[in-house]
């Protein structure tokens, strides 16, 4: 069986290492990048995107809106993770499929990833 691919868009190296390790232990292939134009994301062939709300001084929910507007990407579930108090509202505004609050319990992230890739 082919492993599902998760694309983590995050610029904090410590968070990248932790999330990558945990999701790989759970059986996923994880690619990590910092903010790219949404049009460049198709090359990752991700099954799910975990997107930080603040990446390289750009708002993640705006990138999520771009992703959801591109025909070849809109089917990919996006999980926003953020310290924002209004994260649920941001999620709905940008079309994200889920969210995890920071600081996060790694178990919550795994549950959300598993839910969206089930």
**C-alpha to C-alpha distance for 106 and 103, rounded to whole angstroms:** 9
pLDDT of the residue at 76: 97
**Lowest-pLDDT range, 37-41, 46-50, 58-62, 68-72?**
37-41
pTM value surpassing 0.75: yes
pLDDT level of residue 58 (50, 70, 90 thresholds): confident
DSSP 104-118: --HHHHHHHHHHHH-
Count, residues in the chain: 118
Give me the mean pLDDT over the 12-19 stretch: 94
pLDDT level of residue 55 (50, 70, 90 thresholds): confident
**Which domains are assigned to the chain?**
5-117 (3.40.50.2300)
Who's near 8: CB < 8 A, 6+ residues apart?
16, 19, 20, 23, 30, 31, 32, 33, 49, 50
3-state SS assignment for residue 69 = helix
Whether the CB-CB separation of 11 and 52 falls below 8 Å is answered with: yes
**C-alpha to C-alpha distance for 85 and 99, rounded to whole angstroms:** 12
Longest dimension (CA), the chain: 39
């Amino acid at each position: 069986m082919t492993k599902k691919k998760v694309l983590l868009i995050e610029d904090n190296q410590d968070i990248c290492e932790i999330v990558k390790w945990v999701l790989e232990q759970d059986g996923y292939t994880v690619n990590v990048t910092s903010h790219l134009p949404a049009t460049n994301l198709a090359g990752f062939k991700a099954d799910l995107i975990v997107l930080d709300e603040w990446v390289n001084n750009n708002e993640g929910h705006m990138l999520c809106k771009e992703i959801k507007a591109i025909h070849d990407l809109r089917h990919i579930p996006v999980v926003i993770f953020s310290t924002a108090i209004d994260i649920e509202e941001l999620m709905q505004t940008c079309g994200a499929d889920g969210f995890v609050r920071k600081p996060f319990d790694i178990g919550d992230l795994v549950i959300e990833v598993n839910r969206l890739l089930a």
